[in-house]
C-alpha cells in the first residue's frame, strides 16, 4: 500500500514531495474522489469519474484523461484485496502565493490506496447514534472539494461526543451528514434530501436509490425538516466507505423502536449482494 502515483510517476509514499507553493496546500484549491476496491476490482469507477469531471468543471478545471489506466495499474501492484483509491487533484503550483491563478498552470495529481474501517453485521444490526448541528459549510457542497475544514470540524464534533455522524440542518432542512448522505423512513416510505448545491451527489446514494427501485421500493427525494428527521421510523447514512450505517438514536431522541429497522437491514443486505456480485 506504500506505492502511490504522483504527477506522472509511481513512487513510494515516503518519497512523495509536493511544493509548498501548490494551491491545494495554500488554498485548498482542488477536488477529490474516494473509490472502493472490492476483491481487486474497482467499484463504480465511471460514476466516480463522472462526478470528478463535474467537480473539476465547477471550479474551472479541465478533466484529466488517462486516470482510469493509472488507477488500474496502481491496483495491479497492490497486494491488498479490499481498500479505497484516493484521487486528489489540485490546480497546481505557482511562483507566488496569490488568490488569482494563472491561465497556464499544471495540475497536481495524486492517487493512492487507503484503508478505512468498515462495519460488520453485528454492528449494523445494533445501529449507531448521531448528533445534529447547523450546516455552516459553504454553499457549494455539491463540489467534492479538498477544502474540508467544515466537514472535519463537524465529524470531530461527532467523534468527541461518541456519535458516528453529525447530521446537518440548514434553514430547518436536513442536508446531509458531515461525511455521508442521509436516508429516512416513515410509514414504510423512504426519503432522502433532494439534490442541490447544499449537498454532495453521492455515488452510493444513487446506487441505493437504484437498488431499492429494483426491489419495488421508491425513494422520495424531498425536503426533510429537523422534526421529520426525529420522527422517522428509520434513519441511515450512506457513503463510499460504508454504504448503509443505521442510526437508531439522534442525540436524546430514539429513532423508531431504537433498533435497526427492517428496511435499513434489507438495504444493507441488497447492497452487500450487489457488491459481492459486481
H or E stretch at 87: strand 83-90
Predicted local distance difference test score (pLDDT) of residue 216: 96
DSSP-derived 3-state class of residue 19:
coil
Sign of CA dihedral 196, 246, 151, 30: negative
- Who contacts 193 (Cβ-Cβ below 8 Å, separation ≥6)? 173, 174, 175, 176, 181, 182, 199, 221, 222, 223, 224
Contacts 24+ apart (CB under 8 A), 98-106: 99/27, 101/23, 101/29, 105/23
Predicted local distance difference test score (pLDDT) of residue 215: 96
200 tagged catalytic: yes
176 tagged catalytic: yes
* Distance (Å, whole) CA 37 – CA 230: 34
Please list the pLDDT of the chain residue by residue as tens digits (278 residues): 789 999 999 999 999 999 999 999 999 999 999 999 999 999 999 999 999 999 999 999 999 999 999 999 999 999 899 999 999 999 999 999 999 999 999 999 999 999 998 999 999 999 999 999 999 999 999 999 999 999 999 999 999 999 999 999 999 999 999 999 999 999 999 999 999 999 999 999 999 999 999 999 999 999 999 999 999 999 999 999 999 999 999 999 999 999 999 999 999 999 999 999 99
Pick from 8, 6, 12: which is nearest to 24 by CA? 6
200, 207, 208, 265: which is the annotated catalytic residue? 200
Sign of CA dihedral 175, 178, 181, 182: negative
Let me know: does 173 contact 229? Beta carbons within 8 Å.
no
32, 83, 86, 101: which is the annotated catalytic residue? 32
Predicted local distance difference test score (pLDDT) of residue 1: 72
Domains of the chain: 3-114 (3.30.470.10), 121-277 (3.20.10.10)
* Distance (Å, whole) CA 107 – CA 93: 8
* Distance (Å, whole) CA 165 – CA 177: 6
Phi, psi values for residue 177, rounded to 5°: -95, 175
* Distance (Å, whole) CA 43 – CA 205: 14
144, 165, 174, 198: which is the annotated catalytic residue? 144
38 tagged catalytic: no
Mean pLDDT over all residues of the chain?
A: 97
Predicted local distance difference test score (pLDDT) of residue 208: 98
Instruction: Give the burial class of 137: count Cβ atoms within 10 A of its Cβ; 0-12 exposed, 13-18 middle, 19 or more buried.
Output: buried
176, 191, 199, 229: which is the annotated catalytic residue? 176
Q: What strands, in cross-sheet order, belong to the sheet with 108-114?
A: 9-12, 3-6, 108-114, 83-90, 30-38, 41-42
* Distance (Å, whole) CA 48 – CA 206: 11
Amino acid at each position: 500500500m506504500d506505492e502511490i502515483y504522483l504527477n506522472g510517476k509511481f513512487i513510494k509514499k515516503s518519497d512523495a514531495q509536493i511544493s509548498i507553493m501548490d494551491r491545494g496546500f495554500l488554498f485548498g484549491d482542488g477536488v477529490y474522489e474516494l473509490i472502493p476496491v472490492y476483491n481487486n476490482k474497482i467499484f463504480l469507477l465511471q460514476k466516480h469519474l463522472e462526478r470528478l469531471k463535474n467537480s473539476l468543471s465547477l471550479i474551472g478545471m479541465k478533466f484529466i484523461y488517462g486516470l482510469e489506466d493509472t488507477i488500474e495499474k496502481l491496483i495491479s501492484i497492490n497486494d491488498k484485496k479490499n481498500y479505497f483509491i484516493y484521487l486528489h487533484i489540485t490546480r497546481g503550483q505557482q511562483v507566488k502565493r496569490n488568490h488569482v491563478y494563472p491561465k497556464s498552470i499544471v495540475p497536481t495529481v495524486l492517487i493512492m490506496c487507503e484503508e478505512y474501517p468498515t462495519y460488520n453485521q453485528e454492528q449494523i444490526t445494533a445501529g449507531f447514534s448521531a448528533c445534529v448541528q447547523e450546516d455552516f459549510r459553504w454553499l457549494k457542497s455539491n463540489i467534492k472539494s479538498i477544502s474540508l475544514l467544515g466537514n472535519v470540524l463537524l465529524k470531530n464534533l461527532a467523534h468527541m461526543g461518541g456519535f458516528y455522524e453529525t447530521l446537518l440542518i440548514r434553514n430547518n432542512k436536513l442536508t446531509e451528514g458531515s461525511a455521508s448522505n442521509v436516508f429516512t423512513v416513515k410509514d414504510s416510505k423512504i426519503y432522502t434530501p433532494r439534490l442541490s448545491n447544499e449537498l454532495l451527489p453521492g455515488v452510493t446514494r444513487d446506487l441505493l436509490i437504484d437498488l431499492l427501485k429494483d426491489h419495488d421500493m421508491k425513494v422520495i427525494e424531498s425536503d426533510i425538516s429537523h422534526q421529520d428527521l426525529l420522527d422517522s421510523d428509520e434513519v441511515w447514512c450512506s457513503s463510499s466507505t460504508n454504504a448503509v450505517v443505521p442510526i437508531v438514536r439522534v442525540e436524546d431522541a430514539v429513532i423508531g423502536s431504537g433498533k435497526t429497522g427492517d428496511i435499513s437491514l434489507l438495504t444493507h443486505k441488497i447492497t452487500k449482494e450487489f457488491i459481492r456480485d459486481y
